[in-house]
Structure 1
Amino acid sequence: MENVVALEQIVNKLPGVKGAKILANEGGELKEIHILADIKKPAKQLVRDIETAIYAASGIKIDRKIVSVAQISDDEQETAETGTYEESLVDASARFNLISVETKSSSKRLTVSVNIDDDGKQLSGSSVVDINDDEKYMAAVEATVAAIRESLPSFRVEFIERLKYGLNDVILVVCSAIISGERRKEAGARLFKKDSFNDIVLVILETLNKM
Structure 2
Amino acid sequence: METKLAVDEIVSKLPGVHGARIVNDEDGEMVEIHVLADISKPAKQLVRDIETAIFAASGVKIDRKIVSIAQIALDTEEKKTSATDGFTKEDSQGYSFQLQSLETKATNKKLDITVTLDHYGKELQGTSVVDLGDDEKYMAVVEATVTAIRDEIPGFRVEFIEKLMYGMNEIVMAVGSSLVNGKRKKEAGARLCKKDSLNDFAMVVLEIVNKI
Q: Distance in 2 between matches of 1:139 and 1:13?
A: 34
CA contact (8 A) 1:19 1:163 kept: no
SS class of match (1:154): coil
Taking the TM superposition and a 5 Å limit, the aligned residue runs for 1:144-159 are 144-159=145-160
CA contact (8 A) 1:19 1:164 kept: no
Q: Distance in 2 between matches of 1:183 and 1:100?
A: 29
Q: Distance in 2 between matches of 1:86 and 1:207?
A: 15
1:30 equivalent in structure 2: 30
Deviation at 1:111, TM superposition (A): 2.1
CA contact (8 A) 2:130 2:136 kept: no
Letter in 2 for 1:167: M
Extract unaligned runs of 5+ from structure 2: 81-93
Q: Distance in 1 between matches of 2:110 and 2:9?
A: 38
Q: Percent of counterpart pairs with the same letter? A: 60
CA distances 1:25-54 after superposition (whole Å, capped 9, x unpaired): 222111110011111111111111111222
2:129 equivalent in structure 1: 128
Q: Distance in 1 between matches of 2:15 and 2:131?
A: 40
Deviation at 1:127, TM superposition (A): 1.2
Flag the structure with higher helix content.
1
1:172 equivalent in structure 2: 173
Q: TM-score, normalised by structure 1?
A: 0.85
Q: Distance in 2 between matches of 1:55 and 1:39?
A: 24
Q: Distance in 1 between matches of 2:23 and 2:180?
A: 25
The number of residues matched between the two structures is 198
Extract unaligned runs of 5+ from structure 1: 88-92
Q: Distance in 1 between matches of 2:95 and 2:24?
A: 34
Letter in 2 for 1:15: P
SS class of match (2:75): helix
Q: TM-score, normalised by structure 2?
A: 0.85
Taking the TM superposition and a 5 Å limit, the aligned residue runs for 1:192-211 are 192-211=193-212
Q: 1:132 to 1:97 in 2, by over 3 A?
A: same
- Determine if the alignment matches structure 1 residue 62 to structure 2 residue 62: yes
Q: Distance in 2 between matches of 1:23 and 1:182?
A: 20
SS class of match (2:140): helix
Deviation at 1:168, TM superposition (A): 0.9
CA RMSD of aligned residues (A): 2.2
Q: 1:86 to 1:8 in 2, by over 3 A?
A: closer
